[in-house]
Chains A and B, each alone.
Chain A
Amino acid sequence: DAGVIQSPRHEVTEMGQEVTLRCKPISGHNSLFWYRQTMMRGLELLIYFNNNVPIDDSGMPEDRFSAKMPNASFSTLKIQPSEPRDSAVYFCASSLKSSGANVLTFGAGSRLTVL
């Protein structure tokens, strides 16, 4: 398996523009997570899905952020409009919910810079 695939790896955009980050989880995994990592705030959970259904979006900073998972193999995180304070590395992770300790597999991340 190719692992969790994220795109783009790097994005530079101007304030006010729409940004869409994409994630393809590992085939067979039924849970997907979006995290944001910054120096100031560390690793923050934004939202997670189980069987394509959003379970907890309490970490989404504000209405400018939205996430979707239309099917088991694809998810998007959208920021509209973007602001400089959204600059961060955004990670997608997936796991298989089972009776054991569920291990997250992370993608390589999307580094977003908003000017």
Chain B
Amino acid sequence: GDSVTQMEGPVTLSEEAFLTINCTYTATGYPSLFWYVQYPGEGLQLLLKATKADDKGSNKGFEATYRKETTSFHLEKGSVQVSDSAVYFCALLSGGYQKVTFGTGTKLQVIP
């Protein structure tokens, strides 16, 4: 079945540091890939997405590139801020119905 593997957290970074959160997936066919973010006490919200190989999703300074050859969709940001502290979920959508498979989430803490 479909699955998503994320790097274990928590990740602790100083403000303005470079961020990478690794994500790899297993799926049949050609899934769409997503990063969702969850701030404390809230539901998940879409951060960015990519629908086909070599697509780059971007939003709020975050980027991720759909790499079919390595089945990866790593999240990056050049300079993190304290306000980026949250839990980040990698996810994929495949199949005729809209079943989204989520990774386990990676908690990011940015310290001033």
Contacts and interface: CB of A to CB of B under 8 A. Distances in A.
Interface of A: 4, 31, 33, 42-43, 45, 48, 50, 55-56, 91, 93, 95, 97, 100-109
A27 B90 CA distance: 26
Interface of B: 32, 34, 36, 41-46, 49, 51, 89, 93, 97-105
B43 A43 contact: no
A103 B98 CA distance: 9
B98 A48 contact: yes
Nearest to A91: B43
Given A101-B51, A103-B49, A50 B98 contact: yes
A31 B98 contact: yes
A95 B98 contact: yes
A45 B100 contact: yes
Given A42-B105, A43-B89, A104 B46 contact: yes
A101 B49 contact: yes
Contact of B93 (A55, A101, A105): A101
A55 B97 contact: yes
Given A43-B105, A101-B49, A101-B93, A106 B98 contact: no
A106 B32 contact: no
